[in-house]
Amino acid sequence: MEGNANSLIWEVSVWEFVFVTVLLAGGAAYLTGKAVASAWQPNLQLAAYVLLLGLATRFIHFALFNGTLLSPYYYIVDVVVLMAIAFVGKRITRARQMSTQYSFQYSRSGPMNWTKKAAADS
């Protein structure tokens, strides 16, 4: 498939999608997830932020790369990618929070997980 042809995932070109949606907006989504986790805000608030970020992403596609501004399909594609990145950022930050702030009760069991420590027998 040609790089400039419309696809199910990108509208103008694969490089434009990777640059704008994955790198620029994805970086913002990751940082938004970290901020939401740091403030102990709910997942619904993160989702609302990502929906707004998706609108900004569509505008950048439109203004810089001649994409369609009001394209519901490509908006949904952008939002799905951004949601995944944002929730990964939140989960990584939450795992760090739980293992450092509550180190007496939880230990880290991977980059995105934590486990409850066994009760000490005394």
As a whole number of angstroms, the distance between CA 27 and CA 57 comes to: 12
Handedness of CA 89, 92, 98, 99 (dihedral sign): negative
**Nearest C-alpha neighbor of 105 from the set 121, 122, 117:** 117
**39-86 pLDDT tens trace:** 999 999 999 999 999 999 999 999 999 888 999 999 999 999 999 999
**Nearest C-alpha neighbor of 54 from the set 79, 26, 23, 81:** 79
**74-122 pLDDT tens trace:** 999 999 999 999 999 999 999 999 989 888 888 888 889 888 988 765 4
This prediction's pTM = 0.87
Q: Map out the domains of the chain as residue ranges.
A: 19-116
As a whole number of angstroms, the distance between CA 75 and CA 8 comes to: 12
Q: For residue 116, what is the DSSP state? A: E
